[in-house]
Structure 1
Amino acid sequence: MPLSVTDLATLGDAPITIQSTFFPNVYLRMDGTGVTTFAGSGGGTVNCQFGAGPYERFKLHPQADGSFSFESATAFPNVYLRMDGAGLPAITSGPGGGTVNCQFGAEPYEKFKLHPQADGSFSFESATAFPNAYLRMVGSGVTAATDSGGGIVNCQFNANGGGHEKFILNVAR
């Protein structure tokens, strides 16, 4: 059962998964290998995975400003999802741009506004650093689990509710 806005307030440390609404059984994957201290440009790899294992589990952390950050639940402690929308083309279609990777600790690039959608999913907007930049995931060709994942995760301009910008949040099994 997908998590609702109400569920997010009472989730605690329960690990969650972030699943694409557009690509069946495709999940956001975060590999924080080597990310052990803060680095301005971040590091590691964020892409897609078919099915959900340890790299696809996150802790959702509410922030004082109403935004949320996503920490690796167990595989990479204190490593967070990072979105850099610098250079993102101001168009609402096409291949997107920017950089999505990992960061040690949660600063402005690691904070997201979660926009609920009519179908129960959410779109993730940069909370403060890059207004109107949304998390985008393209899982084309991701049809089986692989060690390194696949697909593309980047940013899209002004794409609240777009097909590649909507995600189902579930408690991880």
Structure 2
Amino acid sequence: MPLSTADFAALGDTPITVQSTAFPNVYLRLYGAEVTSSTNSGGGTVNCQYGVGPYEKYRLRAQPDGLFSFESATFPNVFLRADGTGVTVTGPGGGTVNCQYGAGPYEKYKLRAQADGSFSFELATFPNVYLRLVAHGVTAFTDPGSGIVNCQFNANGGGHEKFFLNVAS
């Protein structure tokens, strides 16, 4: 059963998954083995994976300003990073989604609850820009992952911008 906003405070270090609502059994994947210090442009790889392995698990970290960050459960202190620079119109998406060592401004999100129990992730630094996942053809596990993860403008509750948060098994 997907997590709700009320569940967040009790999670602590319990790992969660970020599951696409549009693509069955597809999860947000973060590979950050080489991300060992903070850089302006981030690093590592964020894409999609069919099923859940170690790179699809996160720790949801509440921030003092009411926002949330997603820390990799496999790579400590490596966070989901989204730079929405230039994403100002709807279309095929844009910006850059990767990893960052530590949680700065590009690693914070407003979790927007949706009627179906899912969430859209609005980038804290880029108002009205949301995390987007497109996984056409992602129907089997592959070591490097696949699909597209980027940003979308004006997409709160959009088909590719909604995710179920679940406790990882």
TM-score by length of 2: 0.98
Q: 1:160 aligns to what?
A: 156
Aligned residue for 2:115? Answer: 118
Give structure 2 stretches of 5+ with no counterpart.
Answer: none
Residue 69 of structure 1 aligns with an amino acid whose one-letter code is S
- Structure 1 position 33, deviation (Å): 2.2
Give the letter for the 2:53 counterpart.
G
Q: 1: distance between equivalents of 2:67 and 2:135?
A: 26
Q: Deviations over 1:115-164 (max 9, x none)?
A: 0000000000011x111110000011110000000000000001000000
Unaligned runs of 5+ in 1: none
Superposed displacement of residue 9, structure 1: 1.8
Give the equivalent residue in structure 1 for 2:67: 67
**Which residue matches 1:91?**
89
Query: Percent identical across equivalent pairs?
Result: 72
- Report the secondary structure of 2:6's partner residue: helix
Q: Is residue 44 of structure 2 the alignment partner of residue 47 of structure 1? A: no
Quote the Cα distance in structure 1 between the aligned partners of 2:70 and 2:79: 5
Show the counterpart of 1:80. Answer: 79
Q: Which residue of 1 aligns with 2:126?
A: 130
- CA deviation profile, 1:70-94 (whole Å, cap 9, x unmatched): 0001x21110000000111x223x2
Distance in 2 between residues matched to 1:160 and 1:72, nearest whole Å: 24
Q: Matched residues in 1 for 2:98 and 2:129: separation? A: 15
The CA deviation at 1:38 is: 0.3
Counterparts of residues 8-19 of structure 1 (less than 5 Å): 8-19=8-19
Paired letter, 2:59 = K
**In the alignment, what sits opposite 1:56?**
56
Q: Distance in 2 between matches of 1:87 and 1:162?
A: 19
Which residue of structure 1 lines up, in the alignment, with residue 138 of structure 2? 142
Q: Distance in 1 between matches of 2:35 and 2:17?
A: 21
Q: Partners in 2 of 1:10 and 1:36 — Cα distance?
A: 29
How many residue pairs end up in the alignment? Answer: 169
Q: Could you list the runs of 4 or more consecutive aligned residues of structure 1 that deviate by over 4 angstroms after TM superposition?
A: none
Q: How many Å separate the matches in 2 of 1:112 and 1:10?
A: 19
- Give the letter aligned to residue 114 of structure 1: L
* 3-state SS, counterpart of residue 160 of structure 2: helix
CA RMSD of aligned residues (A): 0.6
Counterpart Cα distance in 1 of 2:53 and 2:122: 25
